[in-house]
Amino acid sequence: MKESFSEFLSLVKDKNEITDVIGSYIKLERKGYNYWACCPFHHEKTPSFSINAADKYYHCFGCGASGDVITFIKEYENVEFMQAVRILCDRAGLEIPTFDEKDSEELAQKKQKKDRLRALMKDTARFYLNNLYSGNAQEYLAYLEKRGIAPSIMKKFGLGASLDFHSLPAYLRANGYTPQECVESGACAKTEEGRLIDAMGGRLIIPIIDAIGDVIAFGGRLMKKSDRAKYKNTRDTEIFEKSNNIFNINLIKKEKRADGIPHIILVEGYMDVISLYQAGFHCVGASMGTSLTKNQARMLKRYSENVLISYDGDSAGQNANLRGLDILKREGLKVRVVPLPDGLDPDDLIREQGAQGYAACLDKAMPLIDFRILCARRKYDMQKTEERRDFVKEALPIVKEAESATEQEELLKRISKISGISIAALASDLNNVTVSEERTAVQRPPTVRDADKEEKASDFLLCACLFSKPYTDDLNLNAFTFEGDRGKIAAYIIKSRAKGRVQPSGIFDELGSDSEALSAVLNIDSGDNLEGESAERYFADCVRILKRKELNQRLAEAKERSARTETTQELLKITKEINEIAKELKKL
């Protein structure tokens, strides 16, 4: 008999011991029945990330992140569900079978579609690569030679060439891809007349590869002067979102596995990455010309907590530095800025001063607060009284954000030296400075909201039932009403009990890992909260609280019906019901 999709997922989880898998990414320490670590999904110094090996799930008591082994791979590797399954299957030597049943048909179709798009992009990358060495791309090779890119590095990054607008669509169609697939992949576009064209026509091609080694998009640089943008990325598709990816993350991942990563250098463009990589700075990535996003920051954090931002040395680059640093810092990363000479980008610097020149800039990397003051200083002419005052006005709110009085004093001395204003006067003005909440807000891990007595009772009761504590055996969950995700948790427990056993990790298949209600319920499962006589007594109290809630709801509904009734017979019936509910409430 053919296994179902859910049965196959259970096999994948069984073949991938959760502690082994997570332990291959982060350091675990066993304490009692569980394993603990500092959470890989938010910054913390004291471990609050717990793995329950017996029940095959993890939960962070700091930020609320939770899930099974598939969820962990999905979140840590920043991949989609079926990609996470594929990673675990490769790890365990399993093949993903095909499924016919209804509950997996849609998922199988989505997987098949994305597999086709990934295959198409891989074939497209090969097409571009062959073009570069076909003898028809001398202009492209000459450009790369002029930029000082070695042939070995060209091949390392899979560089290619789009020679025209029509060859790629013809090649893809000849290889069995439909026009719809060509467009949905982002490799091709349609003209107003409905004709397929190469979306990167006439450009030097840089493949964008994800963390698991698949080509998901392309960057392209124009080879001739045009009114079109010099650089272009594949548009967002089902397999590529620019805001969720870092260029060169695939090679960064290899570096981490091979030697570990002291830091990641973050630059703006593809050629910056390629030049730095060739110069020996292998832990380098690019945000692909966009302002950094929270997802990109979280992706970087999976590989290193230390990030050096090295954007262009012009004012636009400096502004990008500040935005990037704010986002990275809020995600708990340790960030510094690499100051570059005005007008130079990392690629320019490497070509002019070589690896040693760039290494000297890395040695001068400075914290955010120092860099922001430097940026403010560059904007004003200190010889002019009004601009000097404007500098101080901009600099003091920055100083206000310093984490200690010592740091504030240091920065005030620096501002005093630049502006010629006394430290005493600056300190006096500093006391009157207010900083906006948006700038001073530190990204703290979300906490379980303060719940009322009934919600706390619901959470404890559901947690105890989810983990099949003996004192829950006689409880009929159908007697209670749970709302939202708590209702889904209760339904999962009821369904699992009917099958004979409640598997805690199975709740993630039903509910997902980003539910606040599930996080609140799982937060109960720490220490000895569910064990012993005190837990049993508390459980009994929770049952009473929830029974009282149900009775009060019934009482309110009965009184409402009583006020609406128009017949004496119906009124007597409702009054009897109200008295019975009141008696039950009195017993509780």
Query: What is the CA angle 63-503-60, rounded to 5?
Result: 10
Per-residue model confidence (pLDDT) at position 301: 83
Structure confidence at residue 99 as a pLDDT band (50, 70, 90): low
State pLDDT tens for residues 132-172: 999 999 999 999 999 999 999 999 999 999 999 999 999 99
| Among 161-175, 397-411, 534-548, the range of highest mean pLDDT | 161-175
Residue 331 has pLDDT above 90, yes or no: no
Percent of the chain scored above 90 by pLDDT?
38
Report the candidate in 446, 543, 480, 222 with the shortest Cα–Cα distance to residue 491.
Answer: 480
Give the SS3 label for residue 472: helix
- Report residue 514 as tokens: 């980003």
Contact between 27 and 37 under an 8 Å Cβ cutoff? The reply is yes
Looking only at the bridges linking them, the beta strands covering 264-267 and 306-309 are parallel
- pLDDT at residue 33, as a whole number: 74
Question: What three-state secondary structure class fits 37?
Answer: strand
Q: What is the pLDDT of residue 439?
A: 45
Average pLDDT over residues 35-40: 90
pLDDT of 359 reads 94
**Is 80 exceeded by the pLDDT of residue 239?**
yes
Chain centroid, CA 370 distance in Å: 28
| Cα–Cα distance for residue pair 324/320, rounded to 1 Å | 6
Work out the mean pLDDT of the chain and round it to a whole number: 85
* Amino acid letter for position 284: V
Residue bearing the bigger pLDDT, 378 or 162: 162
The pLDDT value recorded for residue 514 is 59
Which residues lie across from 306 on neighbouring strands? 334
More confident residue, 259 or 321: 259
Q: Is 1 exposed, middle or buried (0-12, 13-18, 19+ CB in 10 A)?
A: exposed
Sheet with 66-67: list strands edge to edge.
Answer: 29-31, 34-37, 49-52, 57-60, 66-67
pLDDT at 116 over 60: yes
Give the mean model confidence (pLDDT) for residues 66-91.
87
pTM exceeds 0.75: no
Q: What mean pLDDT do residues 387-404 have?
A: 89
In this predicted structure, the answer to whether residue 261 has a pLDDT above a threshold of 50 is: yes
Question: What's the token pair of residue 489?
Answer: 């948790």
Compute how many other C-beta atoms are within 10 angstroms of the C-beta atom of residue 15: 14
End-to-end alpha carbon distance in the chain = 52
Question: What does R_g of the chain's alpha carbons equal in angstroms?
Answer: 30
Contact between 521 and 486 (Cβ < 8 Å): yes
- Residue 270: pLDDT band by 50, 70, 90 thresholds? very high
Separation between Cα atoms, residue 429 and residue 380, nearest integer Å? 20
Q: Which two tokens stand for residue 405?
A: 């009085």
